Amino acid sequence: MEKMNSSWQKFIEFITFINLPIRKKFLLFEMGTFFWFLMVGLLSVASLSFIHYRYSQIEQSTLPYMKFTYTLSPELSSLEHSIIDAKEHHNDAKTLYMTKVSLDGIKSTISDVLVKIQNNPTHGNIFETVIQSLSKDDSESFNLFQEILKEINLMDGMVLEAQKKAVLNASASEQALLWQQLGVHVSHTQEMAQSLSKRVELQYQSYSIQVGDTIRLSINSLAIIIVMALTLLMFFTRWLREAFSKPIESMIHQIHSIGTGEVDLSKKLKIKSKDEIGTLSKEFNKLVDTVYGVTVFKKVIEEDNSLEVVYTRLGEVFEREAGISNYRIFDVNAAKSTMNVVYPHVFDEKEFMACNEEILHDCTLCRAQKTGHKVSSFEFDGVCKEFMNDAGKKHVCIPLIVAGHAGAVVQFVFNKTHNAEEIERVNEQIFKAESYIKNSLSVIETKRLMNTLRESSLVDGLTGLYNRRFLQDHSNQIIASTLRRKKQISLLMCDMDYFKQVNDKFGHDVGDSVLKDTSHILKKCVRDADIVIRFGGEEFLILLIDSEVGNGMAVAEKIRLAVEEYNFKTNEGVLKKTISMGISDFPNDADGFWQVIKFADVALYKAKENGRNRCVQFSNDLWDQKANF
């Protein structure tokens, strides 16, 4: 049953040309229309030509013969009566004269008919000329006509000969023989005339019937052809109208929906054919899917908490929607002129790089970041000198323009190919990826601005170090990460010795300069993974992440010596300063993070109490001494 339905469907598709290209559809429609017009024209011309042919035969052969026979019969009857009268009354002279007159009349009639038959002039176009020439071919009637002509000529010769021999002086037997011979010829001529008359009448009736049949057949055939042509024309015109109008109306409705933000995926275009309209419907449905996907994607990332999550979702849609697996998202730090891979997450950026690693330290080397334009080696091979193309790869780099400059760069890497279909597929993937990128720019700009504002609120404006609010916001994350790794944090609470005297003696400008120089020393003495915080005033808190037992004291001593040896510059010369520090470990000293900070502060108090410029490791006896701290 399914096979029968499939076969029937294929037959319907075949006779309706549903899967043919539009150009071929209209070509076949044009050819079909031309065919039916041609059929109507040919049938009309053929039927009219046949009718014309028969009428020409009637006019050129049948009617002249009929007129001849109608004229000849009375003449022959009159001639026959004259001969009988001559036999009875022996009026030979007068009869010969009357016979001669009758024969001359008959010959005149025959001559007129002969001229009409043989020399009938043609007129009109070439079709009429051909038809008239064909219609003259009636050899049998013409042969009878020739036989009658011979008989008339023979009788005319006999009468003329009799007149020359003065038949009046002939004997009675000779006169009787002459009239007898003339009577025989007249009878024979009458028989031939009757035969010709019957033939012509039958021929006339046959031609009339043929003309009538032809007219009826032509009318019926033309009616059938016109009805079929109109039916097919209405069917195909309606089908073509529906094939074009419905998809276009649906597209207009969907475009309106997209414009108003109300995309309804349940109302996709129905693909009924495999022609350009079907392809257009298919591509339009894909476009609607993309627009809908981009719209939903934008709504989702607008509600995400961080820029990192947005980058992660952007990478996921590159793989899921655009089908691109080899890509990198670089975040650009314009202030530091650096860039780093933010997605996919990698442990070693250098091994993951498809470009010279120098771009990480100097983002201006990246052509896409520098120009703000899309860079594609498909368009120009070797366009970016930093791309390492020794592996037979091609790349497309797209800058994410945020606040007038490239805030990030997305790099797509493809296998090198010269296949037109592969290049077209790559272009389609890039187009879809760009759709998501363009619609995410406003969100990325907002997230970056929020990050900037948040970072500015978490960073000390004077030293550039994190402030106390940063510690409050991120302490839970730091604690959870440390406990998950089963590591510890060494906390160094630092305080500049006699810092108030600097402000009082040299002014706050020098005091600020000392704090800045001190922050540089602290950052220089610790790792990049460690966190240096301006805890308040001249106090600093250092978090040594994943520190080993006893490492806190070693780092503290390193910092103390560095500060002691540093030459702070003032308007009056070089200034020497010292620093005191208290050290505690989390979670060795206590389970509570803020409690451990208090322990470090207690150790710092002990260092100052013992003469300053020293480092003190917290112990439980110090807390017992300061139980009311």
Exposure on the CB side of residue 416, measured as CA atoms within 13 A:
10
Are residues 26 and 124 part of one domain?
yes
CATH number at residue 316: 3.30.450.40
Are residues 551 and 486 part of one domain?
yes
Q: What is the pLDDT of residue 629?
A: 42
Are residues 474 and 394 part of one domain?
no
Q: What is the pLDDT of residue 385?
A: 86
- Residue, of 6 and 618, whose pLDDT is higher: 618
What digits encode the pLDDT tens for the residues 302-315? 888 788 888 888 88
Q: Is the dihedral of CA 356, 362, 365, 368 positive or negative?
A: positive
CATH number at residue 616: 3.30.70.270
Are residues 481 and 428 part of one domain?
no
What digits encode the pLDDT tens for the residues 536-571? 889 999 999 988 888 999 999 999 999 999 999 888
The parent domain of residue 42 ranges over 20-207
Average the pLDDT over 459-478 and give the result: 86
The 3 state secondary structure assigned to 310-339 is: HHHHHHHHHHHCCCCCCEEEEEEECCCCEE
Are residues 478 and 405 part of one domain?
no
Q: 345-354, 381-390, 404-413 — which is least confidently predicted?
A: 345-354
> Which of 440, 458, 493 finishes a domain?
440
Q: Is 398 among the domain residues?
A: yes
Mean pLDDT for the chain overall: 79
> Which of 166, 187, 207 finishes a domain?
207
CATH number at residue 100: 1.20.120
What digits encode the pLDDT tens for the residues 12-41? 555 555 666 667 777 777 887 888 888 888
**pTM of the predicted protein model:** 0.49
Q: Write out the two tokens for 547.
A: 């520190």
The string of DSSP codes covering 535-547 is EETTEEEEEETTP
> Which of 207, 228, 259 finishes a domain?
207
Are residues 433 and 390 part of one domain?
yes
Are residues 164 and 29 part of one domain?
yes
- Which of 67, 63, 72 has the alpha carbon at shortest distance from 207? 63
Q: Write out the two tokens for 576.
A: 């020497």
Are residues 397 and 487 part of one domain?
no
Q: Is 273 among the domain residues?
A: no
Q: Is 102 among the domain residues?
A: yes
Q: Is the pLDDT of residue 91 over 60?
A: no
Torsion of CA 553, 557, 563, 565, to 10 degrees: 180
Q: Is the pLDDT of residue 628 over 50?
A: no
Q: 397-401, 430-434, 448-452 — which is least confidently predicted?
A: 448-452
Are residues 500 and 379 part of one domain?
no
CA angle 490, 494, 496 (to 5 degrees): 165
Average the pLDDT over 76-94 and give the result: 66
- Using CA atoms, how far residue 136 sits from 30, 235, 433, in Å, is 42, 48, 85
* Cβ-contact 586, 541 below 8 angstroms: no
Q: Is 413 among the domain residues?
A: yes
Cβ atoms within 10 Å of 72's Cβ, excluding its own: 26
pLDDT range class, residue 335, cuts 50, 70, 90 = confident
Q: What is the pLDDT of residue 410?
A: 93
Are residues 581 and 530 part of one domain?
yes
Q: Is 127 among the domain residues?
A: yes
Q: Write out the two tokens for 230.
A: 């109109």
Q: Is 269 among the domain residues?
A: no
Compute CA 367 distance to the chain's CA centroid, rounded to the nearest angstrom: 33
Contacts of 155 (CB under 8 A, 6+ apart): 99, 103, 182, 185, 186, 189
Number of domains in the chain: 3
What digits encode the pLDDT tens for the residues 396-416? 999 998 878 888 999 999 988
Q: 134-148, 157-171, 393-407, 415-429 — which is least confidently predicted?
A: 157-171
Distance CA 68, CA 193 (A): 9
Are residues 324 and 426 part of one domain?
yes
Q: Is 287 among the domain residues?
A: no
Q: Is the pLDDT of residue 266 over 60?
A: no
Q: Is 518 among the domain residues?
A: yes
Are residues 494 and 382 part of one domain?
no
